[in-house]
Structure 1
Amino acid sequence: MNALHFRWFTRMHARLSLVALTALPLAASCADLTVIHDGAGSVPLGTYFGHLVAGVDQPGVLPGTKFPLATRLKPGQLATSKLGRGLFEAQWLAHPIFVLGTDILSFQWLQLHRQTLTEMGASGLVIEASSEADFKDLQAFAGGLSLAPVRGDWLEQKLISAGIAVYPLVVMPDGRISNVPGSAGVGGLQ
């Protein structure tokens, strides 16, 4: 497999993983869910049947996505002394994800870490946006990084239960949570 094919495969895998994560809140709102397996390490089936994320060049976001996207989390820094288990079980993530909003701190954080996030193949989950236009502005500013709006409180509850009340942050596939992409737990949970 040459480098071009590997890069394409890696990006597609990253986007499919992001699509799977963004579908999780949709599964919680479905009235007629069918449980295929419910045991240790299982995740909702909605994780695997995601919807496509509209690209920056497309006029809209996802059909049915309603704005504003709101969260109880606030823009800020993770406590450096905070330790705990990762946000997700390691086998759930195939690549890093980052969580942010459309506030000024998120834009500054993205500008500072955009190159590293791109090199890592990370995908973004937007948990706060006042309007579709704000989301599309952030998507354009992301410079090609995949971003998806997150509606619902599943991700918010996972973050809060892990003792996290702030964003932006990055979650590594091994479960490390940090303000600094690629760091070994500096500035966050490990």
Structure 2
Amino acid sequence: MKFLKMMVLMCAVGCSTAGYSALTVVGDLGGEPTDTYFDAVNDQPGEFTPPESVDQPQAPAQVSVASALPVRTPELSPGAVMPRKLTLPGMPPVFIIGDDDLSRQWLAQRRVELTRLNATGFVVNVADQDRLKALQALLPGSDMVPVSGSDLARRLQLTHYPLIITETGLAQ
């Protein structure tokens, strides 16, 4: 990238001595803006600064949990999970649930263990914030976030939840 900037700078110097007043951008590969370099070379501040009318991408005003909803993971549904050994050194405990009766019952049965493990919950199927808050109320003090479980389902060949994943395996 430094080489590219140096070439553009050399071209700008050569063009300014040949009577040209501005450069034409033929490609933008990202990186840092070079307009300040050109301003210094030509001693005419703002000559190479893009016009104000160029639309700049705007970051979302506020990111919230509600903006991630609804979450649907078509690869995963409530059902029986066969325990399996895994080797995931350093993997913090994660449990996967959805907004359904089986997940709610499972949370009630595993509440003590999930709290002891300080497990994080991935809610892979939930419609809205009210339904998510109802699930979070079943296990107060735990982190429970809405996420798509598609990638995890493919990587670990999962089809059903609720389940817990630790560094040594997965189980229901």
Question: What TM-score do the two structures reach when normalised by structure 1?
Answer: 0.52
- 2:64 paired with 1:90: no
Aligned residues: 110
Which secondary structure does the structure 2 equivalent of 1:64 belong to? helix
1:108 counterpart residue number: 105
Give the unaligned 5+ runs of structure 2. 1-29, 31-63
RMSD: 2.3
> Runs of 4+ in structure 1 displaced over 4 angstroms?
83-86
1:46 counterpart residue number: none
- 2:143 paired with 1:141: no
Question: What TM-score do the two structures reach when normalised by structure 2?
Answer: 0.56
2:81 counterpart residue number: 78
Kindly report which structure 2 residues correspond to 1:175-186, keeping only aligned pairs within 5 A, or say none.
Answer: 176-179=169-172
Report deviation, 1:157.
2.5
Q: Which amino acid aligns with 1:107?
A: R
Cα distance change on mapping 1:117 and 1:135 into 2, 3 Å: same
Report if the CA contact (8 A) 2:95-2:163 is conserved. yes
1:167 counterpart residue number: 161
Greater Rg by CA = 2
Report deviation, 1:85.
4.2
Cα distance change on mapping 1:84 and 1:163 into 2, 3 Å: farther
Q: Which amino acid aligns with 2:154?
A: I
Counterparts of 1:129 and 1:144, CA distance in 2:
19
Report if the CA contact (8 A) 1:96-1:170 is conserved. yes
Give the unaligned 5+ runs of structure 1. 1-31, 33-60, 180-190
Q: How much identity, in percent, do the aligned residues show?
A: 28
